[in-house]
Amino acid sequence: MGRLAGKTAIITGGASGQGAAQARLFAAEGAHVMIADIGTDRAQALVDGIGPSARHRTADVTEESAWAALVAETEAWTGRIDILVNGAALYDPKPFPDSAAGDLDRHYRLNVRGPFLGMKAVFDLMVRGGGGSIINVASGVALRSFPGMLAYSASKWSLRGLSRSAALDLVPFGIRVNTIFPGLIDTPLLGGNSPEYLDFLRQMVPMKRLGQSDEVAFAALFLASDESSYVTGAELSVCGGINI
């Protein structure tokens, strides 16, 4: 307990799945958590469960104005931003023959533009606070190839490059930038699949099981905490071996 005491975090896509697990864990470790998501009802339910150390704001993270309002509200609440987790993402797989330029644009808008705008938006406040930790959530498709994921994969590879470049650029300001690459995680995204297909997915993983959102959250906790003070530009794969 207390690994994030006194810190404030913004988590995008924080109302469900991996983001919700991060919000609960960060709050349990002493952080104030601002949850940014378009799912208002889910976000409010999560905040109610966490208590006064959490708040939420409905935000379209692809818009600069939404980020400005989100940062302003967070600063008014706690006076600081120490941690940013860019977890909001679009996942709409299609095979190549069915893919159009618009699919690429939609994925890049949320999966690349969103994190870029987030990093820009928190920069000044992080610098004034003496530094911070930015965690970008990519995907195993940015480490290995899977069929039917052209636009999604391209956007996550782009996020990987964005993170590595930002890590070097932000070193002089005391801001660390690291990337998490989740593998097959048991989230609502997979919940609609048949038991047979879920078993097929498990067999693809060397550990023969799906990951849990809490396992990704603990990786994010390490990168958010001062325990990783000498870690920047790192690529942490939480995948049961499937990304090897």
Active site residues: 152
CA 231, 224, 161, 156 dihedral sign is: positive
Could you give the CA distance from residue 114 to residue 41 in angstroms, rounded to a whole number?
22
Sequence-distant (≥ 6) Cβ neighbours of residue 183 within 8 angstroms: 140, 205, 211, 237, 238, 239, 240, 242, 243
The H or E element spanning position 177 is strand 175-182
Could you give the CA distance from residue 212 to residue 9 in angstroms, rounded to a whole number?
21
DSSP per-residue codes, 209-237: S-B-HHHHHHHHHHHHSGGGTT--S-EEE
CA 205, 228, 4, 63 dihedral sign is: negative
Angle at 115 between CA 94 and CA 188, to 5 degrees: 50
CA 197, 201, 204, 206 dihedral sign is: negative
At 98, which amino acid appears?
D
